[in-house]
Amino acid sequence: MASAKESYRAELRAAARQLGERCLYSAAKWAAELLVGIDMDAAPAPSAAMDSPSSSSAASAGRLLHLHRSGGSSFRHRLRPGGGSSSEAGTPLGGVSYVSTPIPDDDAFDSGGDKYLLAKTYFDCREYRRAAHVLQNQAGRKAVFLRCYALYMAGEKRKEAEMIELEGSLGKSNAVNQELVALERELSTHRRTGSIDSFGLYLYGLVLRDKGCEGLARTILVESVNSYPWNWSAWSELQSLCTSSDILNNLNLKNHWMKDFFLASTYLELKMHEEALKRYERLMGVFRCSGYIQAQIATVQYSMRDLDEAEMIFEELLRTDPFRVDSMDIYSNLLYAKESLTALSFLAHRVFLTDKYRPESCCIIANYYSLKGQHEKSVLYFQRALKLNRKYLSAWTLMGHEYVELKNTPAAIDAYRRAVDINPRDFRAWYGLGQIYEMMGMPFYALYYFRKLSYLQPNDARLWIAMAQCYESDPLQMIEEAIKCYERAANSNDTEGIALHQLAKLHAMLGQSEEAAFFYKKDLERMEVEERQGQNFVEALLFLAKHYKSIGSFEEAEHYCTRLLDYTGPEKETAKNMLQGIKRLQSGFPSMDIDHFAL
């Protein structure tokens, strides 16, 4: 186990340095954070622990693992202590044999280091064209990559400027990166002649993706991560192109340990939550102090609606890393769902002081104002987030929700559509579009979007209930189709119990008393288990009492009537009259009907 961990450390140290030298800062940051997240083999001596900068994070990670193991959720029970004798602790996935990928030596190909240093300095100052110009006559692979990457970034910078000039900071525009054609020509030539490295392949994949050649982009990115698996940016781009499990399963990836991080993240994106959770739990065997893995596990728990578990992990993350902003927008969504205004206020204040111009910070503050009911201010902060990052998916979707609250339907539709353009798999945006058209009295349009969504999340009860309500609406009145949708919802873990109650009502409306009684009974059992009382409970008792009386099951009818006597209102009087009628029928006396005495 110790040798495996040392191997990971050596790989990640080299990767963080090499990625940073190529100005791939996000990937370098990811590798460095993962490096310090590797679990220590043995506890250091007290004096050493005081001197070690990572001792506090390791201790905190230990507290987090203790919390995971001490609770009652399935996640807590599945997570195992990372003992030194465990075979699973030696590799992220126990029993898996990983391929060994040699770490490339930068000095093997390149000369002109002084010019490269100058170009990198220009790049760091966002003077991309100056950086490319300095490296114009440099032939080394490292220099070629940075020159092409600088041209790509210069094109992106100009594209953003054109979009703002033509349409404003949040408007739509047909502006494109003018460097893509030349870059594709050059990089494809380098690939054909074999003079391209894994970083050049990554950039080539970006160019192809931007040009809409997704299939070829996937192939190129697979080549990149197979030759240099430590570039998390390449894995992330590849993930964005894996829009289905079939595409994911057909990727020809080498079995490097970085593949496990990619699969876990892609499973999360594809809503395969159990598979993602299993991968992350096993990765914790080695990367026990990794804040990234803990944040991802919390995100999985949030997506699975285990809000208490997710909140506990996010709180622990903030204790160990109080200036963290990454993933805190997910935490703010969780606090919003729990209506924890105090905690959300504290989080918003913290990120505002840390970095108020991060898109995530603006999103957190927007959530805070939304929970307070100040929807105009919320929209303002979502717009700020989008000015900082036009492709910030969550901000478009949540801003659409705010526009719905403000009854600004056209703006809400535009926001949801922008979210779908960024990620066609975004559940909330498709659902929002369907709901808006349903509110506008346009059920056919609503059904179009709900059907699209049914392919993405076929087991979501909320979706099937929304579709059923469209079929029930006055313009359609397609009751049989509504019943089918409610049945799908009832079989998809409808926690609110809407489907069972509606199924009972619709069957009763159609005169199908046996089916209605079946669903009323199931709904009654559910409410009893959940200890719920209310109008639906009374309605179920009343229908079942009448139904069993009508079919001659007087004992059952009497049982439900007796339960109705505990309630005040007209139902109690109805139950009393029914009980009197049942007793007369059971005693054999005819009813006191005036027609009985007619001559």
pLDDT of residue 61: 47
Number of domains in the chain: 2
Helix (H, G, I), strand (E, B) or coil at 585: helix
529-564: pLDDT as tens digits: 888 878 888 888 888 888 888 888 888 888 888 888
224-247: pLDDT as tens digits: 999 999 999 999 999 999 988 999
User: Residue 167: pLDDT above 90?
Assistant: no
pLDDT of residue 121: 96
The pTM of this model reads: 0.80
Q: Which stretches of 174-285 are assigned E, i.e. beta strand? A: none
Residue with tokens 């020509």: 185
Q: What percent of the chain has pLDDT over 90?
A: 60
Q: Is residue 551 part of a domain?
A: yes
Written as one string, the DSSP assignment of 195-217 is ---HHHHHHHHHHHHHTT-HHHH
- Angle separating helix axes 498-509 and 513-529, nearest 10 degrees: 160
Structure tokens at 237: 């781009």
Higher per-residue pLDDT: 395 or 163: 395
- Residues 542 and 96: their CA atoms lie apart, in Å, by 60
Domain boundary among 248, 282, 311: 248
Q: Domain span at residue 189?
A: 1-36+115-162+176-248
- Residue 323: Cβ-neighbour burial (10 angstroms; 0-12, 13-18, 19+): exposed
Q: Is residue 521 part of a domain?
A: no
Q: Taking Cα atoms as reference points, which of 355, 393, 348 lies closest to residue 370?
A: 348
Domain boundary among 248, 270, 294: 248
pLDDT of residue 580: 82
Mean pLDDT to the nearest integer, 355-359: 94
User: Residue 175: pLDDT above 90?
Assistant: no
DSSP state of 178: T
Written as one string, the DSSP assignment of 375-394 is HHHHHHHHHHHHHH-TT-HH
Q: What is the mean pLDDT of the chain?
A: 85
pLDDT of residue 151: 97
User: Residue 482: pLDDT above 70?
Assistant: yes
Domain boundary among 248, 267, 296: 248
**Are 464 and 485 contacting, i.e. CB atoms less than 8 angstroms apart?**
yes
* Confidence grade of residue 578 (pLDDT, cut at 50, 70, 90): confident
Q: What CATH code is carried by the domain that includes residue 28? A: 1.25.40.10
Least confident of 149-158, 304-313, 588-597: 588-597
- Angle separating helix axes 498-509 and 479-490, nearest 10 degrees: 150
User: Residue 39: pLDDT above 90?
Assistant: no
* Confidence grade of residue 382 (pLDDT, cut at 50, 70, 90): very high
Least confident of 74-88, 251-265, 276-290, 410-424: 74-88
Least confident of 83-97, 335-349, 362-376, 529-543: 83-97
* Confidence grade of residue 78 (pLDDT, cut at 50, 70, 90): very low
- Residue 572: Cβ-neighbour burial (10 angstroms; 0-12, 13-18, 19+): middle
* Confidence grade of residue 1 (pLDDT, cut at 50, 70, 90): low
**H helices of 71-140, where?**
74-78, 113-124, 128-134
pLDDT of residue 597: 39
* Confidence grade of residue 459 (pLDDT, cut at 50, 70, 90): confident
CB-CB neighbours of 133 under 10 Å: 15
pLDDT of residue 171: 65
Q: Is residue 357 part of a domain?
A: no
- Angle separating helix axes 393-405 and 375-388, nearest 10 degrees: 160
**Are 224 and 254 contacting, i.e. CB atoms less than 8 angstroms apart?**
no
Q: Is residue 123 part of a domain?
A: yes
Phi, psi of 559 (to 5 degrees): -60, -50
Q: What percent of the chain has pLDDT over 70?
A: 86
271-313: pLDDT as tens digits: 899 999 999 999 998 999 999 999 999 999 999 889 999 999 9
Q: Is residue 435 part of a domain?
A: no
* Confidence grade of residue 18 (pLDDT, cut at 50, 70, 90): very high
**Are 26 and 233 contacting, i.e. CB atoms less than 8 angstroms apart?**
yes
User: Residue 405: pLDDT above 70?
Assistant: yes
Q: Is residue 412 part of a domain?
A: no
Q: Is residue 301 part of a domain?
A: no
Q: Is residue 19 part of a domain?
A: yes
Mean pLDDT to the nearest integer, 431-457: 90
Higher per-residue pLDDT: 457 or 11: 11
**Are 333 and 311 contacting, i.e. CB atoms less than 8 angstroms apart?**
no
Residue 373: alpha-carbon gap to chain centroid = 24
pLDDT of residue 48: 38
- Residues 470 and 450: their CA atoms lie apart, in Å, by 10
Least confident of 37-51, 227-241, 356-370, 419-433: 37-51
